[in-house]
A = this chain, B = another copy of it.
Amino acid sequence: MVTIADVARHAGVATSTVSYVLSGKRSISPETRQRVNASVDALGYRPNASARALASNRSNVLALVIPLRADMHVPVLMQFAAAVVTSARRYDHDVLLLTADEGAAGLERIQQSSLVDAVVVMDIELHDERVPLLRGLDLPSMLIGTPLDSDGLTCIDLDFVQAAELCVDHLADLGHQDVALLGTPSAVYERQTAFAHRTLEGFRSAARRRGVHGVETPCEPTHEAVLKTVQELLTQEPGLTGLVVQNEPIIGPLLEVLRRLGRRVPEDMSVLAICADDVAEGQSPRLSSVSIPADEIGGRAVDLLIGKLDGLAPAPTTLVPAVLTARASSGPAPQPDRSTTA
């Protein structure tokens, strides 16, 4: 193993000089810098992470708390996780993976052992039990998701309220009077998961504001559940012409079911999704959607967290504006069928 002393000897300087060249924390003459850098390269030196952490009280490691629940759609979680890792690397940080089932104990363990400098927590509930702990912890933290009481915490998420509003507005603008939110599995609502709850909220208020009739239903991610849910929806709401889906795995089955039931998209039924762009574009017809910019959110979460580590005090909650992209799955509301009533 090559140490900082080896480099110092090789370059003919003191170890502190090598350290300062590497950290840039004090000015170094160009010649010295060059000589040191050359030695670093020649010897293939890389600082020992533990020694550095011990001396500087900074591990350059971020913890990522990721849920492993059966009801969560894993690919979306992984997109966030990947964004966090990629972004952390840009700040020369690594990411330690914590599963949410270790819970509060895991966070305390991590903090007390000084294993990580900060923590990113995903899958936040409105009344998340980890929130008080996080508030007390003296580790900087970043929540991806917004609890009801975010006092003293830093949160970031897509503005799901607005996401739902954009969907309802889009449908209302197209003349739809009767719309439904086809949501996440019911367990997600029961836990009061923030993103699902905020979406519901936005859906309801927008429907009220626009004077359209809106109903909501959860849906489990199986083909049978989709079929049953859609059939029930159509029975209870015969005039339904607009659907907002927030449930990635059922998107395929949903389109299939509509086809089978003879509802053309968008002629008979407009479908809007809240999902990743590539998922929306992979369907046929291509889905009008509000995208979930996991890369951006995960990336900014890390940016803000690193900022906190550097002493900045970021705004408590960042809501990333929702953007709706109209594609092929939404169109004007069909004329009410008068042939049977006339």
Contacts and interface: CB of A to CB of B under 8 A. Distances in A.
A223 B46 CA distance: 49
A29 B85 CA distance: 46
Interface string A70-83: 00001101100110
Contact of A114 (B49, B59, B253, B284): B49
Contacts of A252: 222-223, 252-253
A96 interface: yes
A98 to B, nearest CB: 8
A99 interface: yes
Interface string A42-55: 00101111110110
A61 interface: yes
A97 B97 contact: yes
Contacts of A1: 114
A309 to B, nearest CB: 16
Nearest to A109: B46
A99 B112 CA distance: 27
A256 interface: yes
Interface residues of A, number: 45
A282 B222 contact: yes
A110 to B, nearest CB: 8
Contact of A81 (B44, B97, B255): B97
A1 B113 CA distance: 10
A252 B253 CA distance: 8
A333 interface: no
Given A48-B113, A109-B46, A113-B48, A96 B99 contact: no
Interface of A: 1, 44, 46-51, 53-54, 59, 61, 64, 68, 74-75, 77-78, 81-82, 85-86, 89, 94-99, 102, 109, 112-115, 222-224, 252-253, 255-256, 260, 282, 284
20 contacts: A49-B50, A49-B113, A49-B114, A50-B50, A50-B53, A50-B54, A50-B59, A54-B54, A64-B97, A68-B82, A75-B75, A82-B99, A86-B99, A89-B102, A94-B98, A222-B282, A223-B256, A224-B284, A252-B252, A260-B260
